[in-house]
Structure 1
Amino acid sequence: MKKLKFALIGCGRISYKNVEALVKNRDSSQLVATCDVKLDRAIAKKDEYINKMQDENLEVKIYEDYKEMLENEDIDVVTIATESGYHAEIAIYCMNKGKHCIVEKPMAMSIDDANEMIEVAKKNNVKLSVSHQNRFNAPIQKLREAVEGNKFGRMMNGTARILWRRDEGYYTQAPWRGTWDLDGGTLMNQCIHNIDLLQWMMGGEVERVYAECDTFRNPIEGEDFGAILIRFKNGAIGIVEGSAVVFPKNLEETLSIFGTEGTAVIGGLAVNELKTWRFEGEDEDSVKSSLQVEIDNVYGEGHTPLFKDVIEAINEDRKPYVSGEDAIVPLSIILAAYKSRKTGMPVQFPLENFSSSDMK
């Protein structure tokens, strides 16, 4: 397997997970450059990587301009962890330069941009993956196995609850957060992972979406609370309850799936704990005990297997486990929710182009 050379663009809040994933995949990857418009952050990530690798002889270049970096360095894969509103522009530029891309969520802020990313990846024969890393959690994989094995019978309904707290300091620390152009609200920023898992498990294409959203206490353009009702073409109903205003701190992130023949609930800090597992002939306690993994952060531990999968997908020339085509679905649900909020009406699928900026 070829050892791939990585570059990191965007060295803010989530970037430590990208560094961690590269360190843990050290046999098949190497970080060769970091880039951030704030050079001190690029330097900090370079130092973080070298320290975790425990090899002071490693050479990692630093840049403020990603276009200059691409011209100067031999890079196979770019991982993009900038503000959400820049994901599409940067990914499209990198893929047109022949680079594979791993993009943090959301993949884009509009349907047109997301579709262009998918098409550019195909045109240049490069891999595009989006960091919906919770798909790799052991309980989520167990749940997906049950879905694919038709253990639930007929899918009836599912619920994604994201009851978190983000106070004013979270938004003032990075003024792009909560803006329509660069971030959206809590549905786009905090809830997209669980929305992705909900739609992935319900087993059908989306038929329509209706939403009610509001901004209750934070000084932002986007919503800090949102509720979505999703009707799937297979008849199942999905419910999303997403909050960034729970008092006084994060309460839960829970995914519940209900079928005529089974019930499953996954919670924990990063949907990593199997809470309920009820299927005929299966011992709930033994299944639950076999899947418990300790997590100490809301991002979970999924970046490492996601990066491993992308590396293998490149070397084996196959589709990544979480592709651009996969990631456009939760994005579409959220953008449909925003359109529903704006119009006060349900939104039918397929969703024509809509952008979070259209909310302004």
Structure 2
Amino acid sequence: MKKLNFGIIGCGRIAHKHAEAIKKNEKANLLCVCDILEERAAEYKDKYGAEAHFTDYRKMLEYSGLDVVNICTPSGMHAEMGIAAAQAGKHVIVEKPMALSLKDADDLIGACDESGVKLAVCFQNRFNPPVQKLRRALEEGRFGKLTHASAIVRWFRPQDYYDQAPWRGTRAMDGGCLMNQSIHNIDLLQWMMGPVESVFGYTATNLRKIECEDVGVAVLKFKNGALGVIEASTTIYPENLEETLNIFGEKGTVVLGGIAVNKIETWKFADSTDENGAIDQHQQDVPNVYGFGHDALVEDFIQAVTNDSKPYIDGWEGRKALEIVKAIYFSVTSNKQMLFS
């Protein structure tokens, strides 16, 4: 089987997870990398054994043999680069959020459809074993009627994190703790609970000197009648505390926790009283908040390209969490409840 040739655009904070996932996969080859800083691009090329490096992503898109582009740049650049890659005939894996506006997200989806290339969004926590187990329980109807849920991200990002680059914490390129950090958990919340009917939110910039929020909260009503709560922050002293997903129903309660929703903390269902063994085999130890989901995401994408099937988290799936965050922001600026169609 011919290996798929990957290229990474943006060699910053998250790029190493993509590079490592590509290098681990026997069906993939890291062909080239790109970063506006020549030194960093060259360092990535040497570290991960790529064939070439670039400082202009459009030049990289012209490189012979390139099949897939992984976009790991600041969020405000995702749509533009993804559209250019699609128009060049390259398949696209884009880090979260896929864009900073719904129009840009739709334009990216449309460009990939028009060019006949695959698009996947990096919500890698969907692949976590505890998350997969929870999803199966929902699909099997074990919760009965869902009553409410919460997605909580209590993390720490010091001021020097934002000061590393001028784009961090800006509306044009980054977003705040809801758009950047909490969007992973918001994705899981809506994936488990279903479509949203309405949302009302508050945000604040309490501690960090940034344009966007460092604390955000929201209440949601889902179309199935269940209620939801979102809490996000990058102000927790003195370090990351938790990323927790709580799902409650008439016949079941599940709490996923750990630093990357990688642990089952509570698992109770009316149809079973002893699942300790099953729970233990789904626990996952991870070294950081990124977890191991990029490995599974890259493998799934290779299968989608090879078999001409839909990626597990395609553009339309990736758009859903973005729509919720944008609705929260609208609610904050208008001081009104945001209704979904």
| Structure-2 residue corresponding to 1:334 | 325
Match of 1:196 in 2: 187
> How far apart are the structure 2 equivalents of 1:282 and 1:66?
55
TM-score under structure 2 length normalisation: 0.98
| Alignment correspondent of 2:8 | 8
Q: How does 1:80-229 map to 2 (within 5 A)?
A: 80-202=71-193, 204-229=194-219
Aligned length: 340
Moved more, 228-237 or 301-310: 228-237
Q: Does residue 250 of the first structure (1) align with residue 240 of the second (2)?
A: yes
Instruction: Provide the C-alpha distance between the structure 2 equivalents of 1:284 and 1:226, rounded to a whole number of angstroms.
Output: 35
Identity %: 49
**5+ unaligned residues in a row in structure 1: which ranges?**
51-58, 351-360
CA apart distance, 1:247: 1.1
1:80-131 per-residue CA deviation (whole Å, 9 max, x = no partner) reads: 0000000000000100111100000000000011011111111111100010
SS at match of 1:91: helix
Following superposition, the deviation at residue 282 of structure 1 comes to 4.1
CA distance in 1, matches of 2:117, 2:218: 34
Q: 1:58-82 CA distances to partner (integer Å, 9 max, x unpaired)?
A: x510100011111233210000000
Q: Given the alignment of the two structures, is residue 287 of structure 1 paired with residue 286 of structure 2, yes or no? A: no
Contact kept? 1:276, 1:284, Cα under 8 Å: no
Moved more, 238-247 or 282-291: 282-291
Q: Distance in 2 between matches of 1:211 and 1:287?
A: 37
2:226 aligned with 1:236, yes or no?
A: yes
The RMSD of aligned alpha carbons is 1.0
SS, match of residue 178 in structure 2: helix
Per-residue CA shift, 1:286-343, capped at 9, x if unaligned? 2321212211111000000000000000000000001110010000000110111100
Deviation at 1:209, TM superposition (A): 1.1
Instruction: Measure, in 2, the Cα distance between the counterparts of 1:192 and 1:174.
Output: 21
Distance in 2 of aligned mates of 1:253 and 1:34: 31
Q: Structure 1, residues 177-226: CA drift from partner, whole Å, max 9, x if none?
A: 11000011000111000000011001x21111110110001000100000
What letter is aligned with 1:220? I
TM-score, normalization by structure 1:
0.93
**Could you list the per-position Cα deviations for residues 222-267 of structure 1 after superposition, in whole angstroms to 9, with x for gaps in the alignment?**
0000001111111111111101101111111100000111000000
The runs of 5 or more residues in structure 2 that have no matched partner are none
**In the alignment, residue 301 of structure 1 is paired with which amino acid?**
F
1:5 corresponds to which letter in structure 2?
Answer: N
What SS is found at the alignment partner of 2:125?
A: helix
